[in-house]
Amino acid sequence: MTDTRKFYIDGRWVDPVAPRTLEVINPATEEAFATISVGGAADVDKAVAAACKAFETYSMTTREERLALLRRIVEVYTKRQDEVAAIITKEMGAPLWFSKAAQARTGLGHLGAVIEVLERYTFERMHKSTMMRREPIGVCGFITPWNWPINQIATKVVPALAAGCTMVLKPSEVAPLSAHLWAEILEEAGVPAGVFNLVDGDGAGVGQAIASHPGVDMVSFTGSTRAGVAVAIAAAPTVKRVTQELGGKSANIVLDDADLKRAVTAGVQSCFYNSGQSCNAPTRMLVTRKQHDEAVAIAKEVADAVKVGDPMADGVMLGPVVSDVQFKRIQGLIQKGIDEGTKLVAGGTGRPDGLSRGYFVRPTVFADVRNDMTIAREEVFGPVLAILPYSDEEEAVRIANDTVYGLSGYVQSGDIERARRVAKRIRSGNVHLNGAPSDFSAAFGGYKQSGNGREWGEAGFEEFLELKAIFGYEPPQKPAR
């Protein structure tokens, strides 16, 4: 049993103010493999005090000093990247190959992207006689989820460090060990005491304390829309900046001129990656009515071929979902889809054949789905795909936008100009054309109830800066005689 009961505050691993523990469960075995402490408001107070003190000096560091620090973090992270991948697999169930190829690699991806931004960013510019200056926002509170643990930590911590901010992190109590490893990496890289602080705990005890704390100048949250609302309410009395990356129900529009087999195959696989536990997963596949049955047959073939099992084993595409709570919720939504009359063509309730323990979900495909059905409205956060037929391009766009969410969209077409035209009409923060991958140097974030603010690249970096206008910075020129 791994003992990670200490918090990282002011450059030291310290005991919680009040002892209270929680076991961390391996979702593949349903067995506890680690213990953490559950913090509270008093622990947050200590962490915020350390961050406030450190801000006085860290905010005054130069661009060159912060670049040197980020490059040292890259060196240490690279050395320990395999450890990061292994612990992510153990704590949240992603197959080891996926943890190495995607989960752990995102840490280096965001470090590299932010280093590029910091190297060229203009913090000061003149507007007539006024200096327009961007400065670090202050102490930041970070509340991160379990589904992409290092990715979501890196998207917040790295630009904050680059901007000159200090911070307090509350990782998910469901998958916290990768955050502890991240803290060790930052410590080894020489991040000054108090700049980065970590307090474990739940949303009610630690998350709310961070969001409402008067010493926190900004809170950045990633998680469910419901929890995001609670964070915003807690933050409102102190009028701090709040950025949120929340839920999604992304539409994947397969236009009638797309390569159907290629588009459907890639769409199913993308929906199922990470066991469907990605907020931007393309969980609604829209195909023309004429191509519906053919698309369903392709999707069924792909889903039936997916190997589910031990995330440490070779050849496994899907590991378990993260917890018993998630498993039961997904089972309930699959049953709801069946009860509402959708056509179940692959998967269904229960574990896959041959698996008697672990939170494993059968890769599931529903066909003939209407956009008013629960399976098309609610974020399932599991390997569950809904296929919706449409009559024409106009209807496809209407269906895609008929959701409270607006995180990502996907368009497949043999005509790139047509794909671009449709993409511009989708109300979401990101759109992928013909399977294009994400770009860490771009921007990530949502419309509507998928959140506000942006992460990644220059847009994400600027979330950690305040804009100051210094009037009269340059005296007016005396007229020439």
Residue 476 lies in a domain: no
What's the pLDDT at 481? Answer: 63
Same domain, 131 and 26: yes
User: DSSP string spanning 429-481?
Assistant: SEEEETTPPP-TTS-B--SGGGEES-BSHHHHHHTTEEEEEETTSSPPPPPP-
What is the pLDDT confidence band of residue 25, given thresholds at 50, 70 and 90? very high
Buried-exposed string 289-307: b where 16+ CB fall within 10 A, e elsewhere: eebbeebbebbbebbeebe
Instruction: In whole angstroms, give the CA distance from residue 397 to residue 392.
Output: 9
For 195-241, the pLDDT digits (tens) are 999 999 999 999 999 999 999 999 999 999 999 999 999 999 999 99
| pLDDT tops 90 at residue 478 | no
Task: Provide, rounded to the nearest whole percent, the portion of the chain with pLDDT above 90.
Answer: 98
Same domain, 185 and 280: no
> Residue 142's domain spans which residues?
2-246+446-469
For residue 275, the domain's CATH number is 3.40.309.10
What's the average model confidence in pLDDT over 15-27? 97
What is the pLDDT confidence band of residue 3, given thresholds at 50, 70 and 90? confident
What's the pLDDT at 73? Answer: 98
If DSSP codes are grouped into helix, strand and coil, which group holds residue 102?
A: helix
Instruction: In whole angstroms, give the CA distance from residue 336 to residue 314.
Output: 33
C-alpha distances out from residue 382 to 117, 134, 254, 349, 374, Å: 34, 41, 22, 12, 14
What's the pLDDT at 2? Answer: 82
Instruction: In whole angstroms, give the CA distance from residue 478 to residue 481.
Output: 9
For 113-135, the pLDDT digits (tens) are 999 999 999 999 999 999 999 99
| DSSP category for residue 289 | G
Same domain, 462 and 387: no
Active-site positions? Answer: 245, 279
Q: Taking all residues of the chain, what is their mean pLDDT, rounded to a whole number?
A: 97
Tokens of residue 265, six digits: 């195959």
Instruction: In whole angstroms, give the CA distance from residue 313 to residue 302.
Output: 20
Q: What is the dihedral of CA 90, 92, 97, 103, to 10 degrees?
A: -120
For 343-395, the pLDDT digits (tens) are 999 999 999 999 999 999 999 999 999 999 999 999 999 999 999 999 999 99
CA 138 to chain centre: 22
Residue 313 lies in a domain: yes
Task: Provide, rounded to the nearest whole percent, the portion of the chain with pLDDT above 70.
Answer: 99
Same domain, 218 and 314: no
Instruction: Tally Cβ neighbours within 10 Å of residue 67.
Output: 15
For residue 231, the domain's CATH number is 3.40.605.10
Same domain, 208 and 284: no
Q: Which residues, in sequence order, are CB contacts of 108 under 8 Å at separation 6+?
A: 74, 77, 78, 81
Residue 301 lies in a domain: yes
What length does the chain have? 481
Q: Which residues, in sequence order, are CB contacts of 115 under 8 Å at separation 6+?
A: 67, 70, 71, 74, 162
Same domain, 239 and 256: no
CA 78 to chain centre: 21
Residue 481 lies in a domain: no
Same domain, 227 and 307: no
With contact defined as beta carbons under 8 Å apart, do 56 and 26 qualify?
no
Residue 439 lies in a domain: no
Q: Which residues, in sequence order, are CB contacts of 367 under 8 Å at separation 6+?
A: 292, 296, 299, 342, 343, 345, 387
What's the pLDDT at 1? Answer: 73
Instruction: In whole angstroms, give the CA distance from residue 198 to residue 279.
Output: 24
What's the pLDDT at 231? Answer: 97
With contact defined as beta carbons under 8 Å apart, do 320 and 93 qualify?
yes
For 100-110, the pLDDT digits (tens) are 999 999 999 99
Residue 438 lies in a domain: no
What's the average model confidence in pLDDT over 409-415? 98
C-alpha distances out from residue 439 to 101, 146, 421, 436, Å: 15, 22, 20, 9
With contact defined as beta carbons under 8 Å apart, do 338 and 348 qualify?
yes
Total domain count for the chain? 2
pTM: 0.96
The owner of tokens 């949502």 is 446
Q: Closest Cα to residue 346, out of 327, 332, 366, 329?
A: 366
Residue 226 lies in a domain: yes
Tokens of residue 41, six digits: 């408001």
For 295-351, the pLDDT digits (tens) are 999 999 999 999 999 999 999 999 999 999 999 999 999 999 999 999 999 999 999
